[in-house]
Amino acid sequence: MMKNKPDEEDYWNSSKFKAFTFDDEDDEFSRLKESKQAVNSIRSLVEEEDDEDEVEKVSWSGEPVGRKTKPGNFQPFTDSLSESSVKLYAPELRKPKSESKDYISDWSPEETIHRMQQGKVVSLERFRSLQDKLLLLDFSVRAHDGNIITAVILFTLTSIIRVLFRELESRQTALRHFIHYLTEIRDHRLLLELLSNLFFSLPFSPEESAHVQDHYTLLERQIIIEATDRLAEHAGKVEIFQKFPRRASILNMPLITTLYYCCFYHYNEPEGTYSSPLNIRHTFRISEKQYFVTVLAARAKLKAWSDLDALFTSRNWLGFTKKKSPLSFHRVVDILQKNSAPTQVLQEYVGLVDDADLRIGLAQKHKCHDIVINTYRDLKDRQLLLGYRGKVERGSAEERKINDLLDSPVRKRRNYDHHHHYQHVT
């Protein structure tokens, strides 16, 4: 932001033409001001009620203090925060000294009050000194119109507060306590005005602004997804919503939760849609690991084991000869087990754990007998095999397999390659 002189500052804070106020165009600046004045004076001559005008002026027509909004005329959220609510009883103070010939400003305090009574547009900002303001106040009292008295008081208050703001800037401790006070009494309007008046910048670095932008994008998407899915759910045509009714709205959930939701309900959508997991992954630069964990959890919950298969083996195309995962297969097994995956599925992933000890530990824990037996076989350890025979069911295929291995130690070695191959085929 640029540091302006007080008067200009007021102009900038109040101008509706903010969008045009690029930093350096001095010419444009003054031209805008001129045209604005012209527009204002025309308006006051025409004396038409104009909704837009209320942002700029105090216009009284016997209605309570407040901005009139036509029904259905929605104010954008940001607008109502920073503009109108401040303007509510903060008429403009934006008049630079050169504006002395302004048409409106020629009215006396008495005339001004009179015009206010008639509900005409007036400009209060020409009453600059406290004395002028008090004079205005006295006339308003004589008018016996509560609305007008209030308007003038509020106008006076606002300008006094602005003076206070400026004085506090050089008294930081007092300023902090004032901010604290405003926070306490929840005077957000004044707080916001104070902060913007003092050129407080939000404490966000460019890096952080990116996060804020992401937050915004996420909310936007959540709104779209929520609306679409709610309709789909009510219509009752999409099977997944019937089978697994949505438990809560996705609005305001964290990104990873949203990703999980989309992996659950929208997994196979093409990347072009807002709710496609792949699209979310790319838009928000989600790390590979996070993405895998989330997909894994969501698909496992649905017992969509084939999706997992595809998730891990799709990498074959890139030249990998076996299943690969950005997170250890140990953790993959953990997640699967938590979602009560059947032994068959578990076995497949336990077998992919690199570390032999870890693999055996997991295999024993999840009763993946084949893996235990094969590992012991590869270790050529009869004792362990003997010990494990006691742990499998009597008369089961596993027991027979162990017996076979124990009975034919010579064959075992000779047929090692065969067995190895066999393991891969299953």
Partner 1 sequence: MAAHLSYGRVNLNILREAARKELREFLDKCAGSKAIVWDEYLTGPFGLIAQYSLLKEHEVEKMFTLKSGRLPSADVKNIIFFVRPRLELMDIIAENVFSEDKRHSSVDFHILFVPRRSMLCEQRLKEQGVLSSFINIDEYILDLIPYDGDLLSMEYESAFRECYLENDQTSLYHTAKGLMTLQALYGTIPQIYGKGECARHVANMMLRMKREFAGSQNQILPVFDTLLLLDRNVDLLTPLATQLTYEGLIDEIYGINNGYVKLPPEKFAQKKQGEASKDLPTEPKKLQLNSAEELYAEIRDKNFNAVGAALSKKAKIISAAFEERHNAKTVGEIKQFVSQLPHMQAARSSLANHTSVAELIKDITTSEAFFDNLTVEQEFMTGVDTDKVNTYIEDSISQKDPLIKILRLVCMQSVCNNGLRQKVFDFYKREILQTYGYEHILTLNNLEKAGLLKPQISSRNNYPTIRKTLKLWMEDANEQNPNDISYVYSGYAPLSIRLTQVLARPGWRSIEEVLKMLPGPHFEERQQLPAGLHKKRQQGENRTTLVFFLGGVTYAEIAALRFLSQMEDSGMEYIIATTKLINGTTWIKSLMDRPESQAP
List contacts with partner 1 (CB under 8 A). 173, 176-177, 180-181, 184-185, 203-204, 207-208, 211-212, 214-215, 218, 252-257, 284-287, 289-290, 293-294, 327, 331
Measuring CA to CA, which residue among 405, 295, 272, 396 is closest to residue 343?
396
CB of residue 99 vs partner 1: minimum separation in angstroms?
Answer: 40
Give the nearest distance from C-beta 14 to partner 1 in angstroms.
Answer: 29
Rg (CA), the chain: 37
Nearest distance from C-beta of residue 354 to partner 1, angstroms? 15
* Residue nearer to partner 1 on the CB measure, 209 or 313: 209
Q: How far is the CB of 176 from partner 1 (least distance, A)?
A: 6
CB 254 to partner 1: min, Å: 4
CB of 253 to partner 1, least distance (A): 8
Task: Provide, rounded to whole angstroms, the least separation between the CB of residue 216 and partner 1.
Answer: 9
Place of tokens 């630079």: 96
User: How far is residue 353 from each of residues 64, 369, 371, measured CA to CA in Å?
Assistant: 74, 15, 11
Chain-centroid distance of CA 129 in Å reads 45
At its nearest, how many Å lie between partner 1 and the CB of residue 260?
Answer: 10
Nearer to partner 1, 65 or 286 (CB): 286
Spatial separation of the C-alpha atoms in residues 276 and 260, rounded to whole Å: 11
Specify the residue, 206 or 270, whose C-beta has the smaller distance to partner 1: 206
Q: How far, in whole angstroms, is CA 397 from its chain's centroid?
A: 55
**Residues paired with 227 in a beta bridge:** none
Smallest distance, partner 1 to C-beta of residue 392, A? 27
Q: Which is nearer to partner 1, 58 or 218 (CB)?
A: 218
Q: How many CB atoms lie within 10 A of CB 114?
A: 16
CB 233 within 8 Å of CB 247? no
Round to whole Å and give the CA distance between 50 and 70: 11
Residue 253 or 406 having the CB closest to partner 1: 253
Q: Which is nearer to partner 1, 308 or 373 (CB)?
A: 308
Hunting for tokens 């990873």 — which residue is that?
Answer: 256
Residue found under tokens 């259905």: 72
The structure tokens listed for 414 are 């000779």
Tokens of 315: 């990498």
Closest approach of Cβ 89 to partner 1, in Å?
A: 19
Please answer whether residues 246 and 258 qualify as being in contact, where contact means their C-beta atoms are separated by less than 8 angstroms.
Answer: no
SS3 197: helix
75 within 8 A of 141, measured Cβ to Cβ: no
Nearer residue to partner 1 within complex by CB, 37 or 339: 339
Long-range contacts of 278-286 (CB under 8 A, 24+ apart): 280/221, 280/255, 283/217, 284/214, 284/217, 284/218, 284/255, 286/255, 286/256, 286/259
Q: In the complex with partner 1, which residue's Cβ is closer, 37 or 290?
A: 290
Q: Which lies closer to partner 1 via its Cβ, residue 112 or residue 294?
A: 294
Helix, strand, or coil here: 291? Answer: helix
- Residue among 211 and 421 whose Cβ is closer to partner 1: 211
For helices 288-301 and 255-265, give the axis angle rounded to 10 degrees: 50
